[in-house]
Amino acid sequence: MSAVTPPLLGADAPPPVTFPLRLAIVEDDLTVRSLLCDYLFDCEEFSFAMAVGSVEALWRELELGLPPQLLLLDLSLPGQSGLAALPRLQERLPDTKVLVQTMHDNADTVFQALRAGAAGYVVKSATPLPAYRQALLEVARGGIAISPAIAGKVLAYFTPSLAQQPDLLSERERQVLQGLVDGLSEKQVAARLDIAYATVHIHVRRIYKKLQVNSRAELLSRYAQGKM
């Protein structure tokens, strides 16, 4: 077991990420599911929780053991879709980070998934196996895994409202915000801006307070709904 502890001080510091992380996969395509299992469960950061082909099977498996810390969820499934299952998953597994996967880079579908609580998404047809690992680790550490194309669409919803309140955020806060919407972790934002990680965290807390949101997921969800 190993832990990654961010160099943050104070009560708002996120908890350390302890490996291996219990990972569950819900994917109906047996070939894709086998490829994902063979690769991801060979990565030292993950331990096997379950790999099933439907949401209905997921509910059954959840009765038998510990809940996963990470869930890779296909949005298009037989029976109940992954998208339809997200609200109940958030209620039943509030501490589980969900990364969704879809066949197409469809902004509307991605926005719906973010609104329902997903921490990011990957596109099956355009995501190599190592990128799945990186995306899962990103959401495990509190980041958001979204493509630059979708990030741009999300930010476009937000820009008009900021234009109406030009003094709401400082220039540095806008730079930090841009990093968050680009899908960067706070550590990556710090590296981009060449400032301390703790400073980025302070800016993030101020951004959340000014925009009246409580988390990055809520931030992106409200972007997606055009409420900012």
Domain boundary among 106, 123, 145: 145
Pair 114, 160 in one domain:
no
Pair 139, 161 in one domain:
no
Pair 141, 155 in one domain:
no
Residue 63 has pLDDT above 70, yes or no: yes
Between the ranges 15-19, 116-120, 134-138, where is the mean pLDDT highest? 134-138
Pair 131, 211 in one domain:
no
pLDDT value of residue 147: 66
Residue 26 has pLDDT above 60, yes or no: yes
Domain boundary among 145, 176, 208: 145
Residue 1 has pLDDT above 50, yes or no: no
Q: Tokens 């509307």 sit at which residue?
A: 108
**Residue type, position 117, single letter:** G
pLDDT value of residue 8: 34
What tokens does 23 get? 């990972």
Pair 180, 102 in one domain:
no
Q: What is the mean pLDDT of the chain?
A: 82
Domain boundary among 93, 120, 145: 145
Pair 138, 183 in one domain:
no
Q: Which domain holds residue 125?
A: 2-145
Q: How many domains does the chain have?
A: 2
Residue 13 has pLDDT above 80, yes or no: no
As a whole number, mean pLDDT of residues 139-167 equals: 67
Read off the pLDDT of residues 78-97 as tens digits, 9 standing for 90 and up: 999 999 999 999 899 988 99
Q: Which of 83-87, 123-127, 148-152, 182-186 has the lowest mean pLDDT?
A: 148-152
Pair 112, 168 in one domain:
no
Name the percent of the chain lying above pLDDT 70: 79
What tokens does 223 get? 């972007």
Query: At 156, which CATH number?
Result: 3.40.50.2300
pLDDT value of residue 78: 92
**Residue 163 pLDDT class (50, 70, 90 cuts):** low
pLDDT value of residue 33: 96
Residue 128 has pLDDT above 60, yes or no: yes
CA atoms of 164 and 93, how far apart (whole Å): 38
**Residue 222 pLDDT class (50, 70, 90 cuts):** low
Pair 136, 29 in one domain:
yes
pLDDT value of residue 227: 57
Pair 170, 205 in one domain:
yes
Pair 71, 168 in one domain:
no
CA atoms of 204 and 62, how far apart (whole Å): 34
Residue 198 has pLDDT above 60, yes or no: yes
Pair 164, 83 in one domain:
no
Pair 30, 129 in one domain:
yes
Residue 14 has pLDDT above 60, yes or no: no
